[in-house]
Structure 1
Amino acid sequence: MANVSPPEVLATETPEATVEIDAGAGKHIEPELWGLAPFQVVSIAMLVLLLFAIFGAKVHKTIAGGLDGKIAAIKEQLEEAKQLRAEAQALRKEYADKIAGAEKDAEAMLVNAQHEADAILEKAEADSKAMVERRKRMAEDKIAAAEREAVQDVRNRAVSAATGASRKLIAERHDAEADRALADKVIAGI
C-alpha cells in the first residue's frame, strides 16, 4: 500500500461555504442548499407541510363540501331517476292494461261483427227467397195473363170466323124473299 490519496470530491458551491467534517481517513464535504444543512432543509419542509396541513384544512373542508354537494346532487338525481322509473313502470302497466282492454274490445267487436254479418246474410237469403217467390209469382201471373189473352184471342178469332162463316152461309142460303118472311115472322111475334 503505497501512497493512497483520498478521493477527490467536487463541490458545486464555492469552497468557503462548505463545512468540512473529519471522517477519519478522508475529508467529507456535506451538501448544502441555500446555505442550509440537509437536516435544516428537512425541518423547514416539515414545518411548511405542517403549516399547510393546519391552514390548508380549510381547503380540504371546501373540497369536502364540494364533494358532499356533488354527492347530494347525485343522490337527488338517483331519487329522481327512481321516481321516473316508477312512473315509467306505472305508464307501462297502464298501457299494457289498455292494450289488453283494446284486444278484448277488438275480439268483442269481431264477434259482434260476425253475428251481424250472419244476421245480414240470413236476411239477404230470406229477402232473395222472397224476391224469387215474387218474381216467380209475377212470371206465373204474366204467363196466366198471356194464356187468358191467347184464349181470348182464340175466342175472338173463333167468333170472327163463326160470324164470317154464318154471314157467308146466310148470304148464300137466304135471299130477299126469305128475309121478308123472316122479318114478317119476327114482327108478328112482337
Structure 2
Amino acid sequence: MSRKKTFFALLLLVLLVSPLALADDYEEEDEYQARYIPLAVLGVAMIAIGVVYYSLTKRKLIITHETSSEWGFKLKMENPYMTVIGPVSPMTVHHFFTITGTVLALIHFSSCNNYTGTAGATGLGMAIVLILLNSTGFIGRHLNRKIISEANGGDMETTKKYVEIYEKWKKVHIMLTVIFVVLLIAHINAVG
C-alpha cells in the first residue's frame, strides 16, 4: 500500500470514529470517568495483537509469514507451528493493528474531563506515549526502508550507518512500549 493510500485510509478511519467523541452529550455524575471504555479495551487489544503478531513472525517463533496474493494459513507439528499466508507483510499488519488501536484508545482518553488523580494522569500518560510510539514507528519504518534500499544499492557503508541508527531507534521504541505497559497496569489498577 502506498503512503498516500495509507494516509487516506487512516484519515477515513479517524473521520468515521471521531463523531463518537464529538456527539456524546451525556453528562456524567463523575467528572473523572472517561467514556467509550469498550473502544479503549478494543484498541489496547488491537495494539497487543499487532505487537505480538509482529514479534512472533519476526523471530519466527510459533508463526512464520509467507507472501502470496491470497490469504490462508498452514498448521504443522514442528516449530514454527503456523505459517500465515497473505499479501501484506507482518510489518503492515503490525502498523494496521497498532495505529487503529491507538485511534480507538485515544477516543476514550479524549473523553475524560479531568486528568488529575492516578487514573487521569496515567490515562493522559498513555495517550502521550501512544502518540510517541506511533511517531517512532513511522521513523522506524523509514529507517527500515533506507536500510533495504542502501543494501540493495550496494552501499554497505551507508547501510551500516542506518543499521546503527536503527539499533538505537529500536531501544527507544521498546522503552516506550514498556512505559506504556506500566502506565496501562497502573491505569487499570486506579480505575478498577
Please tell me the TM-score bracket, short chain as reference. Answer: under 0.3
Higher helix share: 1
Structure index of larger Rg: 1
TM-score calculated relative to the size of structure 1: 0.20
Answer 1 or 2: higher relative contact order, Cα 8 Å, separation at least 6.
2
